Structure 1
């Protein structure tokens, strides 16, 4: 996926596909309405933390750990069984990704490596690097053939070039393409299912980077069945399901709580440094 050739801005045309422009505008209006709400102005920190917690819970649910929200709030130790570790990884990813806004546009591969290390929460020679030929990928919820390691490496480099080069496509469209490519490539080993969604917290429109984040697009059904048959493959799936009514995590219902899990940079267990 190179930016050279017929078009120096290959993602721009995606914004004019049927339904995409309307979806993007719907998202923008929905988010602006939340930012302008009087409750958001008075309790932005509380609402942002609650939205992030709900988003992390949704990420874990898409990876098979479908816990009740109150259970996530109650827990402080996520080092137990497989579902607990999945939930802990989702919480760490959500907290870390929001702090990487300034790095993403300059070095997206560095951000992905960092998120991979944070999700793993332990040292391993394979963590923070692309997968190699022959390394297995256990992702039963994705109904897509696994590209070879060489193909994954090449497409990942091309994706990085697109992000660094920028362009006129709306940020949500670019995020949809990034999400779809990571979903299809599964480029890192061992895989961590939340990486394809965590990048969205680091990829935000320029005018929103200084504003609190109140929601993330998450939808389970199409992701579980795979994006085959949708226009544009995995990117097409993401474009069609990133809609305003699915974006917001109903943050205005948030109430103050203490103890247990939180996603505001205070999640413990994330390594201090990446390997890149």
Structure 2
């Protein structure tokens, strides 16, 4: 990835892949539907808070901690077993994401470092920085070949250049590439999946597609299931037009399902059932 030629917009080309334009349009309609709901005009803060909780639950489930929503809502201590720590990390990331929107377009690598620090919840030497040569990665649910540290560094720099330069690509395309690239690289010692999905959310919100953060893609990714998630990620890693289109479309479907979830919450509130 390089932005040495200002006229080159690699992400924009992805928007013309088969099926991607349809996914972008479908996402836009789903987002418009929830934003047009009458409850959003009066209780949008409540919908945002509920989407954050459900998104964190979904992201944690994809990282192996598949708790019921009410358990996530009820718990206050997330320092116990490994599952509890994963759910706690997902909740912290969701809360932190909104504080980083203004920084993302200027310094995405700084944001990624901060996200990892928040997720890890500690100050170990490897926390908040890309892994170095020979350092292991704890991401057991992603079994793809692990790029070496030099490749990780180069590709992160390329991703950062693309974000800072901006793109004419739809927000869905940019969010999907950011998500896929981080998860493919697994640049940190752990929590890469949680960080990747939070970065996707930051792009979707910061782009203006989902400014109130009510269309939690994490909800949709979890609903579509881990097997389909990893199959779509294989397509991204393949780098083929078909694989890339499949991954972007998968991310689009996840956003649609997140929007549908919040629409259902709006309708429940309207009925006085929530």
Q: Deviations over 1:198-251 (max 9, x none)?
A: 002221366627931112223233233463356636754530202253232512
Distance 1:88 1:147, change over 3 A: same
Q: Which moved more, 1:223-232 or 1:189-198?
A: 223-232
Choose which of 258, 263, 270 in structure 2 pairs with 1:247. 258
Aligned 1:148-159 pairs, distance under 5 A = 148-159=148-159
Matched, 1:46 2:55: no
Q: Is the 8 A contact 2:232 2:247 kept in 1?
A: no
Q: Which moved more, 1:5-14 or 1:132-141?
A: 5-14
| Offset of residue 190 of structure 1 | 3.7
- Structure 1 unaligned blocks of 5 or more: 257-276
- Structure 2 unaligned blocks of 5 or more: 270-274
The equivalent of 1:115 in structure 2 is 115
Distance 1:194 1:68 in 2: 18
* TM-score normalised over the length of structure 2: 0.86
- RMSD, aligned α-carbons: 2.2
The equivalent of 1:274 in structure 2 is none
Matched, 1:232 2:243: no
Matched, 1:223 2:229: yes
Distance 1:139 1:101, change over 3 A: same
Distance 2:172 2:194 in 1: 18
Matched, 1:58 2:58: yes
Q: Is the 8 A contact 2:90 2:119 kept in 1?
A: yes
Secondary structure (helix, strand or coil) at the match of 1:43 reads helix
Q: Which moved more, 1:53-62 or 1:216-225?
A: 216-225
* TM-score normalised over the length of structure 1: 0.85
Distance 1:209 1:28 in 2: 8
